[in-house]
């Protein structure tokens, strides 16, 4: 991303980024440029995030895409600045992507990004996850930096359709969170839980993804 080169406050684009994003690279680069230009100004990311924009946010978000089945309805809960929802929408144009976010300034941003990048597969929904219980169902649901798994499951579990899955980006405590959430996972019909460690080229630590399948 040319706008980041020469700037001491913005992380340089890792050489691996183009290979990670493939054909979606031009739009990812454009999304990154929008974040650099407006992210801090609009209160979406803090100044401390710019030095790790690629490794901590964009490349980290890309790890979700391979775990979402082809052509399904996908929801990102608490989408915020667009991690991982916008990244997944760019990488996977086959998906019907719903970005669920309760804060107006964030939904306005997500709509602006979708329009600027011509993401015809994106629908922005201004709501809390629990407000959609009984009214919406998705084949795959993601969340990143929203809440611990034990607290997250009651919010997102009712949104996952039978046969669908939760694909949650988590940190170093991913395995511990799964154990702590066992009772809540069972209560919401989520089984076959696993923690996948993905090494995304260009990042300095594994990305951990919790996957739980909805049965029945």
pLDDT at residue 2, rounded to an integer: 38
Tally the domains of the chain.
1
d(CA 21, CA 26): 9
**55 lies in some domain:** yes
pLDDT at residue 205, rounded to an integer: 85
101-106: long-range contacts at Cβ-Cβ below 8 A with a sequence spacing of 24 or more?
A: 101/125, 101/126, 102/78, 102/126, 102/127, 102/128, 105/42, 105/43, 106/44, 106/79, 106/80, 106/81
pLDDT at residue 4, rounded to an integer: 40
* Residue 193, domain CATH: 3.40.50.150
pLDDT at residue 12, rounded to an integer: 86
**53 lies in some domain:** yes
Q: What is the pLDDT of residues 172-193, one digit of tens each?
A: 999 999 999 999 999 999 998 9
**12 lies in some domain:** no
**7 lies in some domain:** no
pLDDT at residue 204, rounded to an integer: 80
- Residue-range definition of the domain harbouring residue 75: 17-214
pLDDT at residue 197, rounded to an integer: 95
Q: What is the pLDDT of residues 67-81, one digit of tens each?
A: 999 999 999 999 999
d(CA 106, CA 80): 6
Task: Give the chain's residues under pLDDT 70.
Answer: 1-8, 216
> Are 212 and 161 in contact, with CB atoms under 8 Å apart?
no
**3 lies in some domain:** no
pLDDT at residue 192, rounded to an integer: 84
What is the pTM (predicted TM-score) of this model?
0.92
């Amino acid at each position: 991303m040319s706008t980041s080169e020469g700037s001491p406050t913005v992380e340089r684009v890792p050489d691996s980024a183009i290979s990670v994003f493939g054909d979606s690279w031009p739009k990812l680069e454009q999304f990154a440029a929008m974040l650099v230009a407006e992210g801090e100004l609009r209160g979406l990311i803090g100044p401390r995030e710019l030095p790790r924009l690629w490794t901590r946010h964009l490349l980290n978000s890309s790890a979700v895409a391979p775990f979402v089945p082809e052509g399904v309805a996908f929801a990102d809960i608490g989408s915020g600045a667009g991690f991982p929802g916008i990244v997944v929408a760019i990488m996977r144009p086959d998906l019907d992507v719903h970005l669920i976010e309760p804060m107006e300034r964030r939904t306005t941003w997500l709509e602006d990004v979708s329009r600027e990048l011509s993401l015809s597969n994106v629908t922005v929904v201004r709501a809390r996850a629990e407000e959609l219980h009984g009214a919406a169902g998705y084949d795959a649901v993601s969340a990143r930096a929203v809440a611990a798994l034990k607290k997250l499951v009651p919010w997102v579990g009712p949104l996952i359709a039978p046969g669908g899955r939760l694909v949650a980006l988590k940190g170093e405590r991913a395995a511990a969170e799964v154990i702590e959430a066992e009772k809540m996972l069972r209560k919401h019909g989520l089984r076959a839980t696993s923690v996948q460690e993905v090494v995304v080229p260009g990042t300095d630590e594994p990305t951990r993804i919790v996957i739980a399948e909805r049965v029945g």
